[in-house]
Amino acid sequence: MGMILPVILATADTMADVIFQPTDLASKRLEFLEAARNGQARLRDKDGTSFVMLPESRLRLLETLAKWWQAYMRLESLLRRSELPKARELGELAWLRSFAREDLDEFVSELHDALVAANADEDTTALDDCIKGWRTTARQLEDPLRRAILLAPHVPEDYVEASEPDGPE
Amino acid sequence: MARSSAYDPHMPARRPGGKPEQAPRYRVLVHRRYLDHYEELVGRVGIKQARQFWDHVAQDPGNPDPIASTCFLRGQAGRPKSPGWSRTIHYEVSSSARIDYQYHDAYTTEPDGDLHPVVAILTINYSSH
């Protein structure tokens, strides 16, 4: 959780100092919504409970970052051991089981970089690209023939001219 | 020196469907284990998408396709197979047809052979995700 906390705290730091009251929802609703649109509307209920209203897209970003920071830390911890993690230990990341140790280390490194970029950019594009690329690779490696060819060195004799398939327009 | 490969660098690969608007820059090779899959391509995805793939790899295999989704494979599967080869590109011809390829801008099969750009289709996958 050491890396998740700074993300959440950084978000909290950007919150405005204005704290709305429940009665403001009627009398200052435009100000409240404007603050929420900027991701900064705070409201304190009569019992002291604090609420924050923010754009759904920002909430999704924070949820995605939290989820993948947790996954990163879990995997990093598993890879500190000498043996490869088992599928049941990988949980949601069980799709990584087709990778060798070297690839798993590379995945963890790239995931870390993508998380830092997503956090800084407040955009998950780099993270999405990273996950998509590795998931796609895992699927391709599931098949023994695809795996053998993708991991083998280039042998010119293995390749032939592509023939022209015919078909209707 | 006798050529041991069925690949003839002096024979251009053919394009699915009619004649191309531009001459292909890259010759297209396919791994012999996926030759049957390649010959099914038009039947699987239709001539339009087969042609889209062909035009892309024959003209500009190193850049993103304006229509189809592409990404680099990661890890060892994504590394160049030897010096001069690109990383492995995963091209989604359709929702149920995906092709992995690498390209080489100055390929030759013999030490003093003619350098020419080629695309090597490594695998073809017709299963849907």
Lowest mean pLDDT among B5-9, B10-14, B76-80, B82-86: B10-14
Q: Is B28 on the interface with A (CB under 8 A)?
A: yes
- Between strands B116-125 and B27-31, the pairing is parallel
Instruction: Name which residue leads in pLDDT, A43 or A167.
Output: A43
Q: Is B68 on the interface with A (CB under 8 A)?
A: no
- Are residues A30 and A93 located together in one domain of the fold? no
- Are residues A91 and A134 located together in one domain of the fold? yes
Question: How far separated are the first and last CA of chain B, in Å rounded?
Answer: 45
For residue A161, list chain B residues with Cβ-Cβ distance below 8 A: 6-8, 11, 13, 27-30
pTM (two decimals):
0.81
Say what the pLDDT of residue B18 is.
53
Q: What is d(CA B63, CA A59) in angstroms, rounded to the nearest whole number?
A: 34
- Are residues A66 and A138 located together in one domain of the fold? yes
Q: What is d(CA B63, CA A139) in angstroms, rounded to the nearest whole number?
A: 23
**Is A3 part of any domain?**
no
Q: What is d(CA B32, CA A143) in angstroms, rounded to the nearest whole number?
A: 17
Give me A164's structure tokens. Answer: 């022209």
> Which of B73, B104, B128 is the best mutation test for A, with the most CBs of A within 10 A?
B73
- With tokens 């002291």, the residue in question is A48
**Nearest alpha-carbon partner for B42 in A23, A168, A35, A143:** A168
- Average per-residue pLDDT for chain A: 88
- Are residues A87 and A114 located together in one domain of the fold? yes
- Are residues A69 and A146 located together in one domain of the fold? yes
Residue B75, exposed/middle/buried by CB under 10 A (0-12, 13-18, 19+)?
buried
- Are residues A111 and A122 located together in one domain of the fold? yes
- Are residues A48 and A128 located together in one domain of the fold? no
Q: What is d(CA A45, CA A135) in angstroms, rounded to the nearest whole number?
A: 44
- Are residues A39 and A88 located together in one domain of the fold? no
Query: Which domains are assigned to chain B?
Result: 27-125 (3.30.2310.20)
**Is A168 part of any domain?**
no
Q: Is B128 on the interface with A (CB under 8 A)?
A: no
For residue A162, list chain B residues with Cβ-Cβ distance below 8 A: 13-14, 28-30, 38, 121
Residue A43 domain boundaries:
14-54
Q: What is the mean pLDDT of residues A63-85?
A: 94
**Nearest alpha-carbon partner for A65 in A143, A16, A8:** A8
- Are residues A18 and A74 located together in one domain of the fold? no
**Is A139 part of any domain?**
yes
- Check whether A6 has a pLDDT greater than 80: no
Q: What is d(CA B60, CA A55) in angstroms, rounded to the nearest whole number?
A: 41
Say what the pLDDT of residue B13 is.
52
The kind and range of the H/E element at A63 are: helix A56-78
pLDDT tier, B108 (very low <50, low <70, confident <90, very high otherwise): confident
Instruction: With CB atoms and an 8 Å threshold, state whether B74 touches A146.
Output: no
Say what the pLDDT of residue A4 is.
53
> Which of B10, B31, B70, B108 is the best mutation test for A, with the most CBs of A within 10 A?
B31
Q: Is B3 on the interface with A (CB under 8 A)?
A: no
Q: How many domains does chain A have?
A: 2
Q: Give the closest-approach CA distance of A61 to chain B in angstroms.
A: 23
- Ramachandran area for residue B68 (φ above 0: left; ψ -120 to 50: alpha; else beta): beta
List Cα–Cα distances, B44 to B9, B38, B58, B91, B102, in angstroms: 28, 10, 20, 15, 22
**Is A147 part of any domain?**
yes
**Is A19 part of any domain?**
yes
**Is A68 part of any domain?**
yes
Say what the pLDDT of residue B10 is.
52
DSSP letter at B121? E
Say what the pLDDT of residue A77 is.
94
- Are residues A140 and A120 located together in one domain of the fold? yes
Q: Give the type of residue at B64.
A: P
Say what the pLDDT of residue A8 is.
46
Q: What is the mean pLDDT of residues A96-108?
A: 95
Lowest mean pLDDT among A8-12, A34-38, A93-97, A142-146: A8-12
- Are residues A80 and A140 located together in one domain of the fold? yes
Instruction: Name which residue leads in pLDDT, A98 or B76.
Output: B76
Q: Is B61 on the interface with A (CB under 8 A)?
A: no
Q: How many CB pairs under 8 A join A and B?
A: 138
Radius of gyration of chain B from Cα atoms? 14
Q: What is d(CA B10, CA A140) in angstroms, rounded to the nearest whole number?
A: 32
> Which of A160, A163, A164, A169 is the best mutation test for B, with the most CBs of B within 10 A?
A160
Could you report the per-residue pLDDT of B57-85, keeping only the tens digit for each? Answer: 999 999 999 999 999 999 999 999 999 99
Give me B27's structure tokens. Answer: 């010759």
pLDDT tier, B1 (very low <50, low <70, confident <90, very high otherwise): very low
- Check whether A63 has a pLDDT greater than 60: yes
Lowest mean pLDDT among A15-19, B93-97, B112-116: A15-19
pLDDT tier, B110 (very low <50, low <70, confident <90, very high otherwise): confident
**Is A169 part of any domain?**
no
- Are residues A35 and A117 located together in one domain of the fold? no
**Is A145 part of any domain?**
yes
**Nearest alpha-carbon partner for A138 in A92, A80, A73:** A92
